[in-house]
Every structure is written in structure tokens, then in C-alpha cells.
Amino acid sequence: MACMKPPQRLQSLIEEGLIDTVVRQLMSGKEAMVYVVRCGDETRCAKIYKEATQRSFRQAVDYTENRKVKNTRQARAMAKGTHFGRQAQEDAWQRAEVDALYRLAAVGVRVPKPHNFCDGVLLMELVADENGDAAPRLNDVVFAPEQARAHHATLLKEVVRMLCAGIVHGDLSEFNILLGADGPVIIDLPQAVDAAGNNHANRLLLRDVANLRNFFGRFAPELLQTEYGHEIWDLYQRGVLHTEVALTGRFEHQHGAVDVSGVLREIDDTRVEQAARLLRLRSGA
């Protein structure tokens, strides 16, 4: 297997013996660069987080609200926006994905298995397709209606399993789900939020589920009529959500006063998300 010259950010992992060789670059995205690496007899991937100044993805307060930091000094510095505070915020941003991966992998959610986190590099399982190659994103695959329905149902179970573990992905879409040899695998979790501690968790979960509905609804149009997001959150709020729950896709909305500011915010979110999707499609990232 041919190898490439290791990027500087991976050199310390090679010196520590965590990586043997760097095979190739797998992708360059909005927040990180990912490389295929060899670790002994195993092929893994190394995710190198970009510095905040180099990333297009902003650390919106919706995501960072109520995130834990190491101490009160860090919290004060982050609030003041000092250089130390920005470093602490960057560390918390990266650590959020690492912590989420370990928590979710421990409860059986379909995410890449994390192996190590060192010097801003996350070393984890390489998700492969049936041929052993790097798995494609859902966005790059065309599905038959029955495949779309099956993968949609699988991912809804993963959303439920994540929520039962107290986590909402926050940016779930066809761009950050890989189609592995045994089905979809969820990736890219630095924006994951605490379901109980973040006031925006409800809205983010509804958007995650709507993204799944809209994508798979291209191949199985009947999915466009479902209301799984509202149903899942309602069960969670009532304390009756569990990993084996039988979802119906139906939900009866309670009609009352309209939250105008909330509606406007959803419209703004949709515009921002659509612009980000167009950018990703143009760049191929």
C-alpha cells in the first residue's frame, strides 16, 4: 500500500506510535481534514480539526450553550473572549465530538469507533463499504424506495438511541451520514448538544429529523407526510421515550398562540442551511 508524506499535524502521533503511516487524504470539509492512516494491521482515519479562523462553520451559541468546561477560569475567559478564552472554546468544541463519540459508541449508536484524541487529532474507525473502501456519504448514493424506507427507519432508531443517551446531533443530514457495509453510520458530531441542558435541543432535533425525512422522501415520497420529529420529542418530554419504542410518524399538534420569533428563526435557519448545502455541493467537501 503506497503512502504519502505525513502532514505536520500528524507527525506527533507518528512519534508517539499512535500512527505508523499516512495512506492518503480522505476529505477536506468545513471544519476538518480527514486522512486514511495505518495503525499496525488496522486501517483507520485521522480527523485533523481546523483552527477556528480557517473554518467556515461558526460555533453558534445554539450549539455551545451550557457546554461544560474544565474550570471557572476557562468559563470566565470564554465569556470575555480573551485569547485564552478562544483557545478554551476551541478545545471545548473539539472535545464535544470526542465525548459524544465515546458516549454514543458505548450505548451502541452507529458512529465510528473512537480510538484516541491527541493534539487536536481524533483517531477513529474508518467506515468502509462492502468492498473495503471508504464508505460514501448518503448524498452520493441513489436509493430504491424500499432501501430509502429501510435506511430512514434505521436512522430514526439511531436518533432515538442518541436522545435516550442525552444527545442531539444538531447538524444531521445526508452530508454527514456514511453508507457502510452494514448500513448507515453517523459522523461529524462537534455541534452535538446536551438534550436536557440546551434550550435549542428541541428545534435542532426537529431539524435533524426533517433533514432525514426530506432526503429519503426524494426516493420514497410517502415519508414526506410523516411527523417523526415531533413524535420523538413529545415522547422524550413526557419521559416515555426508550430505544425500543414503536414510532408511528403521526403527531397531533396542539393549536395555540403562534411563536412568531420561533417561526422567523426557523426560516433563517433554513436559509442558512440551504446556503451551506449549496456550498458543500459546489466544493465537493
Q: How far apart are CA 169 and CA 163, in angstroms?
A: 9
Q: How far apart are CA 96 and CA 116, in angstroms?
A: 14
Backbone phi and psi for residue 69, each to the nearest 5 degrees, phi listed first: -125, 170
In whole angstroms, what separates CA 124 from the centre of its chain?
14
133 a catalytic residue: no
Q: How many CB atoms lie within 10 A of CB 39?
A: 17
Q: How far apart are CA 195 and CA 126, in angstroms?
A: 28
171 a catalytic residue: yes
Instruction: Considering the candidates 91, 129, 188, 234, report the single residue annotated as catalytic.
Output: 188
Q: How far apart are CA 47 and CA 101, in angstroms?
A: 13
Question: Residue 75 is placed in which grid cell?
Answer: 468559563
Smallest CA-to-CA distance from 67 within 52, 88, 81 is with 88
Instruction: Considering the candidates 41, 99, 171, 268, report the single residue annotated as catalytic.
Output: 171
Please say whether the beta carbons of 217 and 224 come within 8 A. Answer: yes
Residues with a catalytic annotation lie at 171, 188
